[in-house]
């Protein structure tokens, strides 16, 4: 085990198991994983706004001040719960997939599944890049999706950032519209009903034609269809870049 680095925040030292155990005081009752799992469970149950030091401490039956032995601020908790929500990717995620496009698609859909399972991750403030061990494992696997191409690693990372940004935005927008709440009225139906009352062919000929098509037929199809449309468009651009690079 590596020794702790003074340059790393306490929570990252614990997440990466770099703590050397020399801190003074009583033996810790918790692990950083306990805090992350508890915060994630609160967000799953009540939403991200319900996550607080007091709420975490109450669930763990400790005092709020005791949490500061592990984290220095709420932003640190966000890092830990983000890593908890994603977990580690399936080691066999890319197995049997022969093309970069199939591998990157599998990676993107797996990332989307994690976001859909915990939609609050898309609302976490991205004030700093995720640096947890499991989160970075997803990035490492994503880089490997491009094996067999001549794309340099820097471009691979840029593409992963682009894809991740699209996925995050799509899941967050869909969550805001209630796509993952089966008891909530269909926002797609509501949107079409509103448009039916306010637009007409004379003033909005193009929008009227589009709405009369298959756009936003229902929430479930809207989420999956628009996910694939957006992802395919991005991957078409990646394919053009790869072809240009030879």
pLDDT tens digits, one per residue of 26-59: 667 899 999 999 999 999 999 999 999 999 999 9
Q: What angle do CA 161, 16, 71 make, to 5 degrees?
A: 90
Question: At which residue do the structure tokens 């797996």 appear?
Answer: 110
* Cα four-point dihedral sign 94, 226, 127, 33: negative
Domain boundaries, the chain: 10-86, 100-244
**184/1 Cα distance (integer angstroms):** 49
Of 134, 157, 142, nearest in space to 88 by CA: 134
- pLDDT at residue 15 greater than cutoff 60: yes
For residue 183, report the phi and psi dihedrals to the nearest 5 degrees.
-90, -5
Q: What is the length of the chain? A: 246
- pLDDT at residue 1 greater than cutoff 50: no
**pLDDT for residue 23:** 59
* Average model confidence (pLDDT) across the chain: 89
**90/141 Cα distance (integer angstroms):** 10
**137/129 Cα distance (integer angstroms):** 14
pTM of the shown model: 0.89
Q: By the 8 A CB rule, do 173 and 226 touch?
A: no
**199/195 Cα distance (integer angstroms):** 6
Give the CATH number of domain 100-244.
1.10.357.10
**154/107 Cα distance (integer angstroms):** 18
- pLDDT at residue 216 greater than cutoff 60: no
Lowest pLDDT segment from 89-103, 121-135, 162-176, 181-195: 181-195
Tokens of 198: 């306010």
Given the candidates 1.10.10.350, 3.30.70.870, 3.30.360.10, 1.10.10.60, the CATH classification of the domain at 10-86 is 1.10.10.60
**pLDDT for residue 7:** 80
- pLDDT at residue 199 greater than cutoff 70: yes
**13/204 Cα distance (integer angstroms):** 57
Of 244, 189, 199, nearest in space to 221 by CA: 189
**pLDDT for residue 127:** 87
- Give me the half-sphere count of Cα atoms (radius 13 Å) on the Cβ side of residue 126: 11
Residue 80 CA to its chain's centroid (Å): 13
97/199: higher pLDDT: 97
**pLDDT for residue 176:** 87
**pLDDT for residue 217:** 54
**pLDDT for residue 6:** 62
């Amino acid at each position: 085990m590596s020794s702790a680095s003074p340059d790393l925040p306490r929570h990252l030292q614990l997440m990466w198991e770099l703590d050397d155990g020399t801190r003074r005081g009583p033996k810790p009752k918790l692990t950083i994983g306990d805090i992350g799992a508890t915060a994630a469970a609160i967000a799953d149950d009540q939403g991200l706004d319900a996550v607080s030091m007091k709420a975490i401490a109450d669930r763990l039956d400790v005092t709020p001040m005791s949490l500061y032995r592990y984290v220095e601020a709420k932003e640190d908790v966000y890092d830990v719960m983000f890593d908890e929500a994603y977990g580690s990717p399936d080691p066999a995620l890319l197995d049997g997939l022969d093309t970069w496009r199939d591998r990157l698609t599998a990676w993107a859909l797996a990332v989307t599944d994690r976001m859909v399972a915990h939609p609050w991750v898309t609302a976490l403030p991205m004030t700093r890049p995720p640096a947890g061990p499991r989160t970075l494992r997803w990035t490492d696997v994503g880089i490997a999706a491009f094996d067999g191409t001549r794309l340099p690693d820097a471009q691979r990372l840029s593409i992963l950032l682009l894809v991740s940004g699209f996925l995050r935005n799509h899941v967050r927008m869909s969550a805001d519209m209630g796509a993952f709440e089966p008891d909530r009225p269909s926002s797609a139906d509501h949107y079409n009903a509103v448009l039916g009352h306010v637009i007409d062919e004379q003033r909005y000929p193009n929008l009227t034609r589009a709405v009369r098509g298959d756009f936003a037929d229902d929430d479930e199809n809207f989420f999956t269809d628009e996910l694939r449309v957006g992802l395919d468009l991005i991957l078409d651009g990646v394919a053009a870049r790869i072809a240009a690079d030879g």
